[in-house]
């Protein structure tokens, strides 16, 4: 197992300073860059452990706090184990922050995240990859469409509302995407029902995007997040296999 180093970094953006976590093999050498986009609960120990696992596979992984305008992570005073059914008030704090991160604001930030990786001696030259969870799946697709020349591959897991009738629905960027995409949908996910899955699939196919969309049977929204009640071990390990396969093919 490759030894990994994890550090806190700050990224200056047009609107302030985004705190982030950086994980990379502890060899001082440049490795392929990966941005890991958070779920709604934000940058926290579990996401850092996911970044560490990716770094151990040979990647330099950046996990930005996309909610940095509201403060440094952790923002929401989350319990060690997150069970939204037991603590529904959690979302009263989170939803306004999520809604405030418009597509325009996010894409402005994403350019600075990508530039930070481009400038880092720990990242090899060339395009980078993305992986995102829940909210982060949306952010990954938007980044792939917004910066096609910078993104070689992007994956999204248990993403919600990826293909809606909203004017800024993420699937509408498909025509700009040049990366290979992978989506692992949760089977039991009201935020990504079969009709949205079909629309996403049809739109990516029509745009000629290299992609694979799969449904994980019995998995709930959030299945990769081991510090939440939605965690599913089988789905999580399947996710790792799919993600690493995508990255191996890309780099």
CATH code, domain with 113: 3.40.50.1820
Amino acid 91: pLDDT: 85
Which residue out of 189, 211, 232, 239 is catalytically annotated? 189
Residue-wise pLDDT for 6-35, tens only, equals: 999 999 999 999 999 999 999 999 999 999
Between 13-17, 80-84, 124-128, the lowest mean confidence (pLDDT) is in 80-84
Which residue out of 46, 171, 221, 239 is catalytically annotated? 221
Amino acid 2: pLDDT: 84
Segment 89-118 shows an average pLDDT of: 94
pLDDT at 86 over 70: no
Own/partner contacts of 19-22, CB < 8 Å, gap of 24 or more, are 19/43, 19/64, 19/65, 19/68, 19/72, 19/73, 20/62, 20/63, 20/64, 20/65, 20/113, 20/116, 21/47, 21/48, 21/51, 21/62, 21/63, 22/51, 22/60, 22/61, 22/62, 22/63, 22/122
Between 74-88, 164-178, 190-204, the lowest mean confidence (pLDDT) is in 74-88
Check if the beta carbon of residue 55 is closer than 8 Å to that of residue 83: no
Segment 72-77 shows an average pLDDT of: 89
Share of the chain above pLDDT 70, in %: 99
Residue-wise pLDDT for 143-175, tens only, equals: 999 999 999 999 999 999 999 999 999 999 999
Amino acid 90: pLDDT: 83
Kindly indicate the confidence band of residue 208, based on its pLDDT and cuts at 50, 70 and 90.
Answer: very high
Which residue out of 39, 134, 185, 239 is catalytically annotated? 134
Instruction: Please tell me the total count of domains within the chain.
Output: 1
Phi and psi angles of residue 125, each rounded to the nearest 5 degrees, phi first: -65, 150
Residue span of the structural domain in which 203 resides: 4-250
Segment 104-120 shows an average pLDDT of: 98
Amino acid 84: pLDDT: 72
Decide if 213 is catalytic: no
Cα(12)–Cα(16) distance, integer angstroms: 6
Share of the chain above pLDDT 90, in %: 91
Amino acid 204: pLDDT: 98
């Amino acid at each position: 197992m490759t030894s990994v180093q994890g550090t806190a970094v700050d990224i200056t953006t047009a609107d302030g300073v985004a705190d982030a976590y950086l994980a990379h093999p502890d060899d001082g050498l440049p490795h392929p860059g990966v941005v890991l986009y958070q779920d709604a609960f934000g940058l926290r120990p579990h996401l850092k452990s996911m970044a560490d696992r990716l770094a151990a596979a040979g990647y330099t992984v950046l996990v930005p706090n996309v909610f940095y305008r509201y403060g440094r992570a952790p923002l929401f005073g989350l319990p060690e184990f997150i069970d939204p059914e037991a603590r529904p008030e959690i979302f009263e704090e989170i939803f306004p922050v999520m809604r405030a991160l418009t597509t325009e604001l996010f894409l402005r930030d994403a350019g600075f995240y990508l530039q930070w990786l481009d400038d880092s001696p720990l990242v090899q030259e060339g395009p980078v990859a993305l992986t995102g969870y829940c909210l982060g799946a949306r952010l990954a697709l938007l980044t792939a469409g917004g910066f096609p020349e910078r993104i070689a591959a992007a994956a999204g897991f248990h993403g919600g509302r990826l293909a809606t009738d909203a004017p800024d629905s993420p699937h509408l960027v498909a025509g700009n995407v040049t990366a290979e995409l992978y989506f692992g949908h949760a089977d039991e996910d009201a935020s990504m029902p079969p009709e949205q899955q079909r629309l996403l699939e049809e739109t990516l196919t029509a745009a000629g995007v290299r992609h694979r969309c799969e449904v994980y049977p019995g998995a709930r929204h959030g299945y990769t997040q081991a510090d939440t009640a939605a965690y599913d071990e089988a789905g999580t390990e399947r996710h790792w296999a799919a993600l690493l396969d995508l990255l191996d093919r890309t780099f």
